[in-house]
């Protein structure tokens, strides 16, 4: 958590109407440092708190809203300390805010923006509270001067200043102008005691809910700029392939087609090698661009990965595991533990490449002018978009305006800004605003996929079936794709998190990694490696419990032990408390009638996982009859510290349930002769409502801890809870995802 | 030239008749509430009503709606909110929200003919995809909307889908 400990990061000034605006900025996390000097131009909608003389209160939403709820939860935190009526607050999406410090380095203008790693709430918690409290303090100070009473005699209630002794009351708006001229308080004002919260901790509706159900909410696909043209790109079907030649005569004859722009393929070691080679068609409408594209005749150079197939990569992984791997964790003496064991068990688990497939295909609008650029994008990384435009155009970072639209889903896909790069290149070529629209086929075939991986887990056991040694070997192409700064021997860091349990729960633990080569682009997919690791680890623990003839919950609780703080150095640390993981397992189990007998064709499974500071567990009930799987009920429990918006936390758990089910049931990306085989939802079959359980229940642990993010923790434990339930129902152990047709065999 | 009724008003499209209705709505009529998700009739994000029936606008050439009534999410409620929109708010269904216009338009058609839906009805008829995983709330909201439509009949829907009449 970042404390707002240096006052000068706050900045107050007057709005055009003479109200108070308050911004807050923190040293940048991940902002780069190069570039020339300049000040941000344009209107400062970007301030966190804006109080107009007429009493209107606007709170800026700093992060990218992709369904994870931060456009609601982050402003709630500000509103709480500002002490206003939540329903009367207007929330507005802030554009990217960056600035140059006195040394010319770039930093965030306010707080870090973008969304990834479930950090928005945990990192924003303290600074956003302090920002709200500071604005309230300035209003109080202005009221105290106006009324000639000491500040201590004033209180506030829902946007109204009250002088209790005289009964005087006035809305914040009346003091907004005076407050904007006051110096900021020396020290951060006292924050509310959590028991006095009226907004935080109470369920609030998604702020854009009404706009969404009436079709008014603006996504990237709905954005436009005056004079824009429409573009669609035919991408090279081979990874790192290129355009050999193309004939655009027919395409140019398509009515509405304006221009054809070749896009050069990846140049090694360049920042923007996320780009695929292709040919863009620019037209006066989306459909004309699609039509023109269909009329292109392109010959491709297939590039270096034209022979790659899923089967060959899988075989390489299998062979790799027969050799010693790179030892990345070696606690105790695993070899000795196995030598002295009464029993041992080993099992392989496989997870495939999967695509993010946000329902809104990639899109954006970019206008590159001589003196600057405008970008409207559904991006999780607005600063990445800004850097990309800077690299391609040479324009000053401060002259690049990046507006964040709502995102029609993100899941990590929109941390990569390849589509912004394409639109930028096309706009540079045609010198007009360009609205780029990908198709679903583009989106599925040109993703930065969640890596596939083959996991081998081995355990040594004592005479009571208890773990004495643990070895986890993983062969996978690392998520670190085209990261020139990452050394070959660090590729594992994106795939194995050494401090995950069972480390420190038993003395002998070893992790080995095998870095596989693949031409398939990889990237962050919701909870990155946690999905795969939770599947392998939580399945294997279930196998061990059954081997020992023990109840899987009891087996895992004994392993986790009491509540205590263990060091956790990877993202989501600094501590991991096995007692909190045990807590969510127990809560889900209790609510789901764990231990109660089920009908013959039914089964019940449990799994839990720690992801990015949050603890989540599920109990899944299934029925398997004649090879048909029906997921009857999912009961979830989460410990995310203080639940800022309980309704939003529940929504994210439900999201984890459905995304977990969808991914486990049928989703996989496969390659044949260097080409991705999936191209639309008929062969990349997302779960439909028919696949979804009729009963989904969520329970939130009443936790004294500060809030963690909730976008990612809910997904990882779902798949193993499901496959453990399938085992309970059928005796069939699913060790490979997706489940697909395995139950039919 | 294709003429049709769009949300109650006359609309003329001068372009090619094989242009999918979806892109006429989005790029020409400026009605962006209807979404593009797959372009192949697979996801339901683009669901609109043609003469009152739910259809996927990405695979309907505009020529096929000549002289017909087309209703989009923007025109679903004549004034205020449709019971489904109301129910969607009450259950706070949306996550990213991208699929929700299509979800509501799909349900608005079949619920008309199945005013008292069961879980099976919902599973059979509510086919648009939601990538975010709002299916649990879509179920609840459809049950809730059915209640709102029945006016006066107060039925609570328990989390397990049991209906409890009060
Ligand atoms: S966009 Fe029409 S069904 Fe998917
Ligand atoms: S709410 Fe995001 S796709 Fe349904």
Contact A206 B35 (CB under 8 A): no
Q: Which of A437, A463, A491 is the last residue of a domain?
A: A437
User: What's the whole-number mean pLDDT along residues A473-493?
Assistant: 93
Asked, for residue A497, whether it belongs to a domain, the answer is yes
What ligand is nearest to the CA atom of residue B103? 2
Same domain as A282, residue A150: no
Select the residue of A65, A221, A681 nearest B42 (Cβ to Cβ): A681
Q: How far apart are CA A522 and CA A413, in angstroms?
A: 10
Q: Does residue B7 or residue A269 have the better pLDDT? A: B7
Same domain, A117 and A187: yes
Query: What's the rounded mean pLDDT across residues A269-284?
Result: 82
The reply to whether residue A286 touches residue B23, judged by beta carbons under 8 angstroms, is yes
pTM value? 0.93
B37 vs A66, A214, A440: nearest CB: A440
CA of A445 to the centre of ligand 1 (A): 18
Pocket (CB within 6 angstroms of ligand 1): B 36-39, 41-46, 56, 58
B17 and chain A in contact, CB less than 8 A: no
Tell whether A344 is covered by a domain.
Answer: yes
Contact B21, B59 (CB under 8 A): no
pLDDT band of A273, cuts 50, 70, 90: low
Per-residue pLDDT at B153: 44
Give dist(CA A592, CA A247) in Å, integer.
Answer: 62
**Chain A residues touching B160 at Cβ < 8 A:** 694-695
Q: Could you tell me if residue A147 is left (phi over 0), alpha (psi between -120 and 50 degrees) or otherwise beta? A: alpha
CA distance A137 to B86: 39
Residue B136 Cβ inside 6 Å of ligand 2? The answer reads: no
One domain for residues A484 and A555: yes
Name the band, by pLDDT with cuts 50, 70 and 90, for residue A29: very low
Last residue of a domain, one of A408, A437, A466: A437
Whether A105 and A174 map to the same domain: the answer is yes
- What homologous superfamily does CATH list for B2-75? Beta-grasp domain (3.10.20.30)
pLDDT of A40: 33
pLDDT exceeds cutoff 70 at B164: no
Interface with B, mutate which of A66, A215, A714 (most B CBs under 10 A): A215
How far is it, in rounded angstroms, from Cα A451 to Cα A520?
A: 9
C-beta B132 within 6 A of ligand 2: yes
For a pLDDT cut of 70, what percent of chain A falls above it? Answer: 92
Structural domain spans, chain B: 2-75, 83-165
Q: Which of A269, A271, A288, A289 is nearest to A279 (CA)?
A: A289
Going by C-alpha positions, the residue among A262, A275, A24, A267 that lies closest to residue A125 is A24
Q: How many CA atoms lie within 13 A of A137 on its CB side?
A: 20
Give the model confidence (pLDDT) of B93-115 as tens digits.
Answer: 999 999 999 999 999 999 999 99
Same domain, yes or no: A146 and A241: no
Is A205 contained in some domain? no
Residues 6+ apart with CB under 8 A from A105: A33
Residue A239: its H or E element: none
In this structure, are A70 and A154 located in the same domain? yes
Residue A723: inside a domain, yes or no? yes
Same-domain pairing of A94 and A149? yes
Q: Specify if A442 maps to a domain.
A: no
Residue A597's pLDDT is 92
What residue of B is the nearest CA neighbor of A444?
B38
Evaluate if residue A10 carries a pLDDT over 70: no
Q: Listing from the earlier edge strand, what are the strands of the sheet with A10-14?
A: A10-14, A20-24, A49-51, A57-61, A89-93
Residues of B in contact with A68 (CB under 8 A): 95
List the structure tokens of A205.
């509706």
Domain that holds residue A369: 221-304+362-437
Peptide bond into A360 cis (omega under 30): no
Q: What's the per-residue H, E or C state across A94-152?
A: CCCCEEECCCCCEEECCCCCCCCCCCHHHHHHHHHHHHHHHHHHHHHHHHHHHHCCCHH
Provide the pLDDT confidence category of residue A185 given band limits of 50, 70 and 90.
confident
**In this structure, are A512 and A473 located in the same domain?**
yes
Is the beta carbon of B99 within 6 A of some atom in ligand 2? yes
- Residue A479 reports pLDDT greater than 90: yes
φ, ψ dihedrals at A454, nearest 5°: -110, 120
pLDDT in the model for residue A42: 33
For residue B163, pLDDT beyond 60 = no
Determine the average pLDDT of the residues in A43-70.
77
Locate the chain B residue with the closest alpha carbon to A356: B131
Give Cα separations from A214 to A208, A283, B34 (angstroms). 10, 30, 10
CA of A412 to nearest chain B CA: how many angstroms apart?
Answer: 13
Nearest-neighbour CA in chain A from B156: distance (Å): 15
In a domain, A265, yes or no: yes
Which is nearest to A456 in space by CA: A337, A348, A557, A300? A348
B2 touching A, CB under 8 A? no
Residues 34-73 of B with CB under 8 A from A: 34-40, 42-43, 45, 72-73
* pLDDT of A27: 34
Q: What tokens does A472 get?
A: 């986890």
The 8 Å CB, 24+ separation contacts for A593-596 are A594/A553, A594/A619, A595/A551
Dist CA B160 CA A700 (whole Å) = 18
Contacts of A686 in chain B (CB under 8 A): 129, 131
Residues A505-551: tens digit of each pLDDT = 999 999 999 999 999 999 999 888 999 999 999 999 999 999 999 99
Tell me whether residues A658 and B135 touch, CB distance under 8 A: yes
Instruction: Tell me, yes or no, whether A630 and A503 share the same domain.
Output: yes
In CATH terms, B83-165 corresponds, of 3.90.550.10, 2.60.40.650, 1.10.150.120, 1.10.645.10, to 1.10.150.120
Taking residues A315-334, what's their average pLDDT? Answer: 98
pLDDT in tens, A563-622: 999 999 998 889 999 999 999 999 999 999 999 999 889 999 999 999 989 999 999 999
pLDDT, average across residues A314-338: 98
Q: Any idea what the CATH number is for the domain that residue A378 is in? A: 3.30.365.10
> Which of A381, A405, A437 lies at the terminal end of a domain, its last residue?
A437
Tell me, what's the pLDDT at B157?
44
Q: Which of B100, B129, B160 sits opposite A212 (nearest CB)?
A: B100
Distance A76 CA to ligand 2 centre (A): 22
- Contact between A729 and A86 (Cβ < 8 Å): no
Interface test with A, best of B136, B139, B144, B162 (most A CBs within 10 A): B136
| B133–A689 CB contact, under 8 Å | no
Q: Given an 8 Å threshold on Cβ–Cβ distance, is B92 in contact with A439?
A: no
What is the reported pLDDT for A46? 42
pLDDT of residue B18: 96
Strand-strand pairing, B47-50 and B53-56: antiparallel
Q: Which two tokens stand for residue B9?
A: 């008003």
Cα distances (Å, whole numbers) of residue B110 to B49, B94, B97, B106, B114: 11, 20, 21, 7, 6
Q: Are B20 and B61 in contact (CB under 8 A)?
A: yes
Domain assignment of residue A293, yes or no: yes
- The count of structural domains within chain A is 3
pLDDT of res. A422: 96
For residue A172, count other CB atoms closer than 10 A to its CB: 30
pLDDT per residue as tens digits for the range A615-650:
999 999 999 999 999 999 999 999 999 999 999 999
Count of A-B CB contacts under 8 Å = 190
Residues A455 and A347 both lie in one domain: yes
Is residue A112 domain-shared with residue A240, that is, in the same domain? no
CA A607 from chain center: how many Å? 22
Question: What per-residue confidence (pLDDT) applies to A103?
Answer: 79
- The pLDDT of A275-290, averaged and rounded, is 96
Please check whether residue A422 lies inside any domain of the structure: yes
On whether both A429 and A463 belong to a single domain, the answer is no
In ligand 2, the atom with minimum distance to the C-alpha of A409 is 2
Distance, CA A96 to ligand 1 centroid (Å)? 31
Cβ contact A694–B127 (<8 Å) = no
Q: Cβ neighbours of residue B151 under 8 Å, at least 6 residues apart?
A: none
Nearest by Cα to A497 from A610, A420, A335: A610
Tell which of B105, B135, B148, B160 to mutate to test the A interface (max A CBs under 10 Å). B135
Looking from the CA of residue B45, the nearest atom of ligand 2 is 3
Nearest-Å Rg of the Cα atoms of chain A is 27
**What's the mean per-residue pLDDT of chain A?**
90
CB atoms within 10 A of CB A319: 11
Q: Quick one: pLDDT band at residue A112, thresholds 50, 70, 90? A: confident
Whether the CB-CB separation of A380 and A711 falls below 8 Å is answered with no
* Coil, strand or helix at A459: strand
């Amino acid at each position: 958590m970042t404390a707002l400990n240096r006052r000068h990061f706050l900045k107050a000034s007057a709005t055009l109407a003479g109200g108070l605006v308050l911004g807050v900025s923190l040293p940048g996390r991940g902002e780069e440092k190069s570039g020339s000097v300049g000040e941000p131009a344009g209107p400062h909608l970007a301030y966190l708190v804006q109080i107009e003389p007429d009493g209107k209160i606007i709170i800026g939403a700093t992060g990218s809203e992709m369904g994870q709820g931060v456009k609601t939860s982050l402003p709630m935190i500000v509103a709480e300390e500002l002490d206003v009526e939540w329903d009367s607050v207007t929330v507005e999406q802030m554009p990217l805010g960056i600035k140059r410090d006195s040394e010319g380095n770039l930093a965030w203008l306010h707080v870090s923006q973008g969304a990834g790693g479930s950090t928005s709430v945990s990192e924003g918690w303290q600074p956003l509270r302090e920002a709200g409290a500071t604005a309230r303090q300035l209003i109080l100070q202005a009221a105290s001067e106006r009324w000639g009473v000491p500040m201590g005699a004033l209180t506030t209630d829902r946007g109204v200043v009250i002088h209790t002794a005289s009964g005087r009351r006035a809305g914040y708006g009346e003091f907004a102008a005076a407050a904007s001229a006051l110096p900021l308080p020396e020290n951060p004002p006292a924050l509310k005691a959590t028991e006095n919260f009226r907004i935080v901790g109470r369920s609030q509706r998604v702020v854009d809910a009404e706009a969404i159900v009436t079709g008014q909410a603006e996504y990237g696909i709905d954005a436009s700029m005056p004079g824009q043209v429409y573009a669609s790109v035919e991408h090279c079907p081979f990874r790192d392939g290129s355009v050999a030649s193309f004939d655009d005569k027919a395409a140019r004859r398509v009515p509405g087609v304006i221009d054809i722009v070749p896009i050069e393929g990846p140049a090694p070691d360049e920042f923007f090698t996320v780009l695929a080679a292709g040919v863009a068609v620019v037209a006066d409408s989306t459909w004309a661009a699609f039509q023109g594209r269909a009329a292109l005749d392109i010959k491709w150079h297939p590039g270096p990965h034209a022979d790659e197939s899923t089967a060959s990569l899988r075989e390489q992984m299998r062979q790799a595991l027969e050799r010693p791997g790179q030892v990345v964790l070696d606690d105790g003496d695993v070899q000795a533990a196995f030598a002295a064991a009464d029993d041992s068990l080993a099992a392989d688990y496989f997870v495939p490449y999967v695509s993010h497939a946000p329902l809104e295909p990639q899109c954006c609008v970019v206008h590159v002018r001589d003196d600057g650029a405008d970008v409207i994008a559904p991006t999780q990384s607005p600063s990445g978009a800004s850097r990309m435009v800077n690299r391609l155009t040479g324009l000053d970072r401060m002259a690049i305006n990046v507006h964040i639209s709502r995102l029609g889903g993100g899941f990590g896909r929109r941390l990569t800004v390849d589509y912004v790069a394409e639109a930028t290149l096309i706009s540079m070529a045609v010198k007009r605003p360009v609205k780029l629209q990908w198709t679903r086929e583009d989106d599925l075939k040109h993703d930065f996929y969640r890596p596939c991986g083959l996991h081998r887990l081995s355990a040594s056991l004592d005479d009571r079936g208890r773990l004495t040694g643990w070895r986890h070997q993983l062969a996978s192409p690392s998520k670190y794709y085209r990261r020139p700064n990452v050394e070959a021997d660090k590729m594992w860091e994106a795939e194995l998190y050494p401090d995950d349990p069972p480390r420190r729960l038993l003395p002998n633990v070893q992790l080995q990694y095998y870095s596989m080569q693949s031409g398939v682009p990889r990237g962050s997919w919701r909870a990155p490696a946690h999905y795969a690791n939770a599947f392998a680890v939580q399945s294997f623990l279930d196998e061990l419990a059954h081997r020992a003839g023990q109840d899987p919950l009891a087996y895992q609780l004994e392993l986790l032990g009491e509540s205590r703080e263990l060091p956790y150095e990877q993202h989501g640390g600094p501590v991991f408390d096995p007692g909190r993981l045990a807590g969510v397992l127990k809560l889900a189990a209790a609510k789901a009638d764990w231990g109660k007998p089920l009908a013959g064709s039914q089964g019940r499974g449990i799994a839990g996982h720690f992801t990015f500071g949050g603890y989540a567990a599920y109990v899944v009930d299934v029925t398997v009859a004649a090879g048909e799987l029906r997921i009857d009920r999912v009961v979830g429990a989460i410990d995310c510290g203080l639940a800022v918006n309980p309704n939003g936390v529940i929504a994210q758990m439900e999201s984890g349930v459905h995304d977990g089910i969808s991914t486990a049931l049928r989703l996989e990306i496969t390659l044949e002769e260097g080409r991705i085989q999936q191209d639309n939802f008929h062969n990349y079959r997302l779960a439909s409502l028919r696949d979804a359980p009729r009963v989904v229940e969520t329970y939130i642990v009443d936790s004294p801890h500060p809030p963690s993010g909730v976008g990612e923790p809910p997904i990882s434990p779902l798949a193993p809870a499901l496959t453990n339930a399938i085992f309970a129902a059928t005796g069939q152990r699913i060790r490979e995802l997706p489940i697909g047709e395995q139950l039919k065999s | 030239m294709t003429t049709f009724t769009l949300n109650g008003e006359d609309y003329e499209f001068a372009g090619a008749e094989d242009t999918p209705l979806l892109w006429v709505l989005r790029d020409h009529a400026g009605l962006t509430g209807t979404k593009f998700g797959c372009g192949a009739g697979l996801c339901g994000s683009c669901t609109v009503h043609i003469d009152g029936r739910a259809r996927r606008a990405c695979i309907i050439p505009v020529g096929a709606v000549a002289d017909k009534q087309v209703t989009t999410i923007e025109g679903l409620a004549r004034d205020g909110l449709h019971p489904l929109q109301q129910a969607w708010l009450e259950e706070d269904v949306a996550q990213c929200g991208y699929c929700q216009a299509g979800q509501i338009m799909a349900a608005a058609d079949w619920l008309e003919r199945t005013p008292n839906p069961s879980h099976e009805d919902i599973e059979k008829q509510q086919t648009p995809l939601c990538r975010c995983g709002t299916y649990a709330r879509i179920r609840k909201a459809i049950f809730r909307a059915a209640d709102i439509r029945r006016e006066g009949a107060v039925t609570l829907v328990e989390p397990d889908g049991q209906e409890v009449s009060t």
